[in-house]
Amino acid sequence: MCGIVAYFGKKQAQPILIEGLKRLEYRGYDSAGVALLKANQFEVYKTSGRIANLEEILPETESRAVVGIGHTRWATHGVPNTINAHPHIDYTGKIALVHNGIIENYAILKKWLIKEGCTFKSETDTEVVANLIGYFYERNRARNGENAPSGSNRFEWAVQQAFNEIYGTYGLAIMCSDCPDVMIGVKKGSPLILGVGKEEYIIASDASAIIEHTSQAIYLSDGEMVTIHSEGFDTKTISNEEVTKELKDIEISLDQIELEGFEHYMQKEIAEQPQVLETCLKGRVDVKNGRVILGGIQDKLRDLTRTKRIILSACGTAWHAGLVGEFLFEQLARIPSEVEYASEFRYRNPIVDEGTIFIAISQSGETADTLAAVELAKERGATVLGIVNVVGSTIARTTDAGVYLRVGPEIGVASTKAFTAQVSVLTMLAIELGRRRHLSSEMAQGLLKELMEIPKKVEQIFSQKEQTRQIAQANIDKDNWLFLGRGFNYPVALEGALKLKEISYIHAEGLPAAEMKHGPIALITDNMPAVFIATKCSQYEKIIGNIEEVRARGGRTIVVATEGDEHIKPYADHLITVPDTVEQLQPLLTVVPLQMLAYHAAVLRGHDVDKPRNLAKSVTVE
């Protein structure tokens, strides 16, 4: 939530910041701004709206400043207007900063700072940080009355004083107009990376804003800060203890974050699924022996096999994948499992003990709710595993062990390829646990053989792109949709509804199909499309019955069925088919047409598919 980028080097900072912000825009797009530092003066440009709006207000001649910071905002405190846009400058005019996160005690600090004579312009929590640093810098004296130690860097000292007072989450880049040859980055709870190039440094919320300039970076941990200066950089804790950080290779490449001829990232990421799922499965599946090798959690398999309970926890789409996981663990491994909304989990004093296996699922690895659930599960002694996409992300580093999705960066706000990879990883894990418990090798071999066919089968679904577009077109004026599925296709119904809601702004509800008759059936009219996921499975006859119930009430149906199923045709006003596969793997196929349907509906309604209103890709606030 919010993207920050900062440049310190010998090149003109402005174009680098703007390019970086465009790469980070998926993190928030309520407002944007840059501050450039030259000759001890800040030049600040900020505006509500997108980076494109910011470009419009930049002067025609690019600033020659070689140091600067930039921000793209997902609003939390204060409406998304120009005053609340970052960068924020403190009351002395000497400190400028950009921030991603939330300052929890900002109200108390603001009150105190106002009493001390500081003035505020915005409604944001961030301005408190700027004023607090400015306050300590100006006074050169700590709260306890002690002066800054002589010989210390006063700017760095003031930053440390401020962060002694602050509670919350933050990733920040900070400049001081008195010190144009110093820039400071501070991190706690929000991601912050320092890209290290040749005589240049880039601080950013994620690697996408860095990769064009260097492939080497250090990943700051919580409570750490970096001070960049003309001789290099130092890393230490906020309480001033030195820390040594390892320079790491950034694992993404430029082409992974380019559109490469697609109109939208979501479209690209749907299309990438056959190839990325192959990568996700590669080297992990041994069909011949009916076994799975997941290197990252090999040491934990003994605990996993013996556990009496698995808790999966996640948010949004990852939660839907977790629900498929719950069904898989119970059915294939016979381990009692439950999926929990991470946002609810930590606030209800859940029963977690040392025998519990807790699995966090997160594409970004930065979702604040999921991270908080991970921390609680750890505190209570559970073995905590992660199924995460972003390598080196906070959740990946906080869990005891984990499995990466290997699908490359997912940039579209609507999650697509991460879902199918999450389900693939959960399937592999459930099969391996099953094998270690009671699942026969024949059964495991059969499932794994089918799993390896999935990438090819996803590709086959794409031949119905135009058909899906036409179905979206035929229903584009409908403002309420139902998505219904049973068994393994019930989580897919939830996911189909979420996809449609978040990018096309059409109200949609996902339900277990049989639940419809307990209330929602009252909504059925010919004005409310009902999307049924009715593939050949153990509940096929039952879902046909549910379709009948809708049709009997004049409802219109869009049916996702198994290829070659002639019987279902009369039940469908619109039909999309997926290749046949075993029941447990069907979500990997049935979700794809629903992703396509949502994509076309959003395009047809003229929405910005990759940047839906009010949303951001990674939700790093609770």
* Interface stretch with ligand M6R, choices 360-368, 466-474, 532-540, 541-549 (CB under 6 A): 360-368
Q: Which of 90, 127, 502, 509 binds ligand M6R (CB under 6 A)?
A: 502
Beta strands in 182-238 (DSSP E): 182-188, 193-196, 201-204, 216-219, 224-229, 232-237
Q: Is 190 in the site for ligand M6R (CB under 6 A)?
A: no
CB neighbour class for 278 (10 Å; exposed up to 12, middle 13-18, buried from 19)? middle
Q: Which of 414, 561, 572, 596 binds ligand M6R (CB under 6 A)?
A: 414
Give how many residues touch ligand M6R by CB under 6 A.
16
Q: Is 420 in the site for ligand M6R (CB under 6 A)?
A: no
- Pick the closest to residue 327 from 468, 146, 181, 489 (CA basis): 489
The nearer residue to ligand M6R, 369 or 400, going by C-beta atoms, is 369
Both tokens of 323, joined, read 């629900």
Q: What is the 3-state secondary structure (H, E, C) of 188-203?
A: EECCCEEEECCCCEEE
Within a 13 Å sphere around the CA of 117, how many CA atoms are in the beta-carbon half? 6
Interface map 294-323 toward ligand M6R (x if CB under 6 A): ---------------------xxxx-----
Q: Least Å distance between CB 167 and ligand M6R?
A: 23
Give the total residue count for the chain: 622
Q: Which of 179, 192, 413, 603 binds ligand M6R (CB under 6 A)?
A: 413
Structural contact between residues 311 and 382, judged by C-beta atoms closer than 8 angstroms: yes
Distances (CA, A) of 311 to 322, 350, 422: 9, 11, 15
Longest Cα pair distance anywhere in the chain, in angstroms? 84
Q: Which of 367, 445, 468, 546 binds ligand M6R (CB under 6 A)?
A: 367
Determine the residue with CB nearest ligand M6R: 316
The nearer residue to ligand M6R, 63 or 370, going by C-beta atoms, is 370
Q: Is 618 in the site for ligand M6R (CB under 6 A)?
A: yes
Q: How far apart are CA 294 and CA 301, in angstroms?
A: 9
β-bridge mates for residue 195, sequence order: 202, 217
The answer to whether residue 308 is catalytic is: no
Among positive and negative, which fits the CA dihedral 109, 115, 118, 121? positive
Both tokens of 111, joined, read 């009150």
Q: Hey, which residues between 439 and 498 contact ligand M6R (CB under 6 A)?
A: 498
Active-site residue among 187, 268, 611, 617?
617
Q: Is 363 in the site for ligand M6R (CB under 6 A)?
A: yes
The answer to whether residue 617 is catalytic is: yes
Buried b (16+ CB within 10 A) or exposed e, 151-167: eebbbbbbbbbbbebbe
Q: Least Å distance between CB 368 and ligand M6R?
A: 9
The nearer residue to ligand M6R, 227 or 363, going by C-beta atoms, is 363
Q: How far apart are CA 536 and CA 335, in angstroms?
A: 26
The nearer residue to ligand M6R, 84 or 363, going by C-beta atoms, is 363
* Interface stretch with ligand M6R, choices 348-356, 359-367, 424-432, 571-579 (CB under 6 A): 359-367
The nearer residue to ligand M6R, 318 or 588, going by C-beta atoms, is 318
Active-site residue among 2, 118, 280, 315?
2
Structural contact between residues 50 and 57, judged by C-beta atoms closer than 8 angstroms: no
The nearer residue to ligand M6R, 122 or 363, going by C-beta atoms, is 363
- Pick the closest to residue 34 from 61, 66, 58 (CA basis): 58
Q: Is 364 in the site for ligand M6R (CB under 6 A)?
A: yes
The nearer residue to ligand M6R, 133 or 602, going by C-beta atoms, is 602
Q: How far apart are CA 11 and CA 65, in angstroms?
A: 8
Q: Is 160 in the site for ligand M6R (CB under 6 A)?
A: no
Q: Least Å distance between CB 95 and ligand M6R?
A: 32
Both tokens of 330, joined, read 């119970």
Which residues bind to ligand M6R, rule: CB under 6 A? 315-318, 362-364, 367, 370, 413-415, 498, 502, 618-619
Which residues are known to be catalytic?
Answer: 2, 617
